[in-house]
């Protein structure tokens, strides 16, 4: 067995000298990864006598822990250094007079919300809102997701601590609770969209704990699936600016709609890019269906008299698709370079407004 003290000093010094995160990760794998140096030493324990094991086992474990600690500390230091560097280089002095040229820009999420609202208000919808801190009843129960329903698990809900009545509020996991709030606020007909923030405990390249959805709800007499299909087709053609957009409805399941479907849009994956409206591939963009009669009953509407459809769509996702933005997390890092690249000039006329005169012809 090597001289562990010497090894420790050597490794700790290398870690402290490492000046970048990629190098640090390589070092971690090399030293304490599954096939790393320390793990190989640990394997040698197997060949030792019980006495030697007693002596070396704890020492090796101690060494491993010290290395891991040193790496964690160095990682925190390097991240802080990087953050400070960004804060310095992206500094904006807001007390200075406005520089020549437009500096500010519209965030793609704001742009996508404006475009969606514009398309649906043309179709006769109005915009509704609801709270982001929501009650269980609106987020789940009234939408036909009772407490024991397995769909609750799929929502990765952020709950608040229990209040004095034993109720736990939550961060809404979708915009669907606003369906219930709307239907309870007055008599039908309803024709609303609900753009807004939603929350789930999830994070990777395509999921962030806070994200955006738009919900739609139409309730009236004699509403059928044909209306739903037409609305979605019109929306996709307008939003993606492609007249003969291909969409398909795949049977699916949501507790609040029956029947339910997922909508896929036709696309092609070419050289790592997604091209909407071309090719033979499909990409899911929303969930939809006819409002479940049980949901109507929950808000005291007679399902024999009123029917309707609903759909829900990820706004971040359709923004990524429309403008070819690869990583969802970048939407929320407030990186000035990213905002300059993907942002929209504040005084531009939105492309959809300029097309409005063509609307009747379509």
Positions in the binding site for ligand DAH (CB under 6 A): 174, 176, 215, 254, 257, 287-289, 310-312
CB of 174 to ligand DAH, least distance (A): 3
- What's the CA gap between 299 and 183, in Å, rounded? 6
CB of 228 to ligand DAH, least distance (A): 9
Indicate the residue among 67 and 315 with the shorter CB distance to ligand DAH.
Answer: 315
Pick 287 or 339: Cβ nearer ligand DAH = 287
Compute the least distance from the CB of residue 161 to ligand DAH, in Å: 24
Q: Positive or negative, the Cα torsion across 265, 108, 289, 155?
A: positive
Using CA atoms, how far apart are residues 149 and 144, in angstroms rounded to an integer? 9
Asked whether the bond before 217 is cis by omega within 30 degrees of 0, the reply is: no
Shortest spacing between CB 110 and ligand DAH, in angstroms: 21
We find the least distance from the C-beta atom of residue 56 to ligand DAH, in angstroms, to be 54
The nearer residue to ligand DAH, 28 or 181, going by C-beta atoms, is 181
With 0-12 / 13-18 / 19 or more C-beta atoms within 10 angstroms meaning exposed / middle / buried, residue 9 is exposed
Residue 56 or 309 with smaller CB distance to ligand DAH: 309
| Smaller CB separation from ligand DAH, 199 or 342 | 199
Determine the Cα–Cα distance for residues 296 and 217; give it in Å rounded to an integer. Answer: 12
CB 245, CB 119: distance < 8 Å: no
Distance CA 248, CA 284 (A): 9
In the complex, least distance from residue 317 CB atom to ligand DAH, rounded to whole angstroms: 11
CB of 290 to ligand DAH, least distance (A): 8
Cα(86)–Cα(92) distance, rounded to whole angstroms? 11
Structure-token pair, residue 176: 């669907």
What 3-state class would DSSP assign to 186?
A: coil
Nearer to ligand DAH, 174 or 212 (CB): 174
Tokens 């736990």 locate to 168
Contact 240, 324 (CB under 8 A): no
Cβ pair 342, 319 in contact under 8 A: no
Helices and strands (H, E) in the chain, number of each type: 12, 12
- Name the residue nearer to ligand DAH (CB basis): 157 or 176: 176
Pick the closer one to ligand DAH by CB: 11 or 236: 236
Q: How far is the CB of 176 from ligand DAH (least distance, A)?
A: 4
The residue number whose beta carbon is nearest to ligand DAH equals: 312
Q: How far apart are CA 23 and CA 18, in angstroms?
A: 7
Identify which of 192, 194, 235, 196 has the alpha carbon closest to the alpha carbon of residue 212.
196
């Amino acid at each position: 067995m090597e001289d562990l003290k010497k090894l420790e000093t050597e490794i700790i010094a290398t870690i402290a000298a490492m000046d970048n995160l990629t190098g640090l990760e390589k070092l971690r794998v090399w030293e304490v990864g599954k096939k790393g140096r320390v793990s190989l030493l640990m394997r040698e324990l197997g060949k030792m006598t019980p006495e030697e094991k007693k002596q070396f086992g704890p020492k090796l474990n101690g060494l491993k822990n010290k290395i891991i600690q040193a790496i964690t500390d160095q990682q925190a230091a390097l991240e802080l250094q990087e953050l400070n560097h960004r804060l310095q280089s992206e500094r904006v002095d807001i007390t200075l007079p406005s520089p020549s040229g437009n500096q500010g820009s519209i965030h793609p999420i704001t742009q996508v919300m404006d475009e969606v609202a514009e398309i649906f208000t043309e179709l006769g919808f109005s915009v509704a809102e609801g709270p982001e801190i929501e009650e269980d009843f609106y987020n789940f129960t009234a939408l036909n997701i009772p407490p024991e329903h397995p769909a609750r698990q799929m929502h990765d809900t952020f709950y608040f601590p229990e209040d004095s009545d034993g109720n736990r509020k939550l961060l809404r996991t979708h915009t669907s609770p606003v369906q219930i709030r709307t239907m309870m606020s007055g008599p039908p007909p309803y024709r609303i969209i609900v753009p807004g923030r939603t929350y789930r405990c999830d994070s990777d390249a395509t999921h962030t704990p806070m994200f955006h959805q738009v919900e739609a709800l139409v309730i009236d007499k004699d509403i059928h699936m044909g209306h739903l299909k037409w609305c979605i087709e019109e929306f996709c053609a307008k939003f993606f600016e492609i007249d003969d957009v291909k969409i398909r409805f795949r049977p699916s399941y949501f507790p609040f709609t029956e029947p339910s479907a997922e909508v896929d849009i036709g696309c092609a994956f070419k050289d790592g890019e997604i091209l909407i409206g071309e090719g033979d591939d499909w990409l899911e963009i929303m969930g939809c269906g006819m409002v479940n009669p049980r949901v109507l009953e929950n808000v005291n509407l007679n399902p024999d008299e009123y029917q309707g459809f609903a759909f829900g769509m990820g706004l971040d996702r359709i923004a990524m698709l429309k403008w070819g933005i690869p990583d969802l997390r970048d939407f929320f890092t407030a990186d000035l370079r990213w905002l300059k690249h993907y942002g929209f000039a504040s005084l531009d006329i939105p492309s959809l407004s300029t097309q409005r005169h063509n609307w009747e012809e379509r």
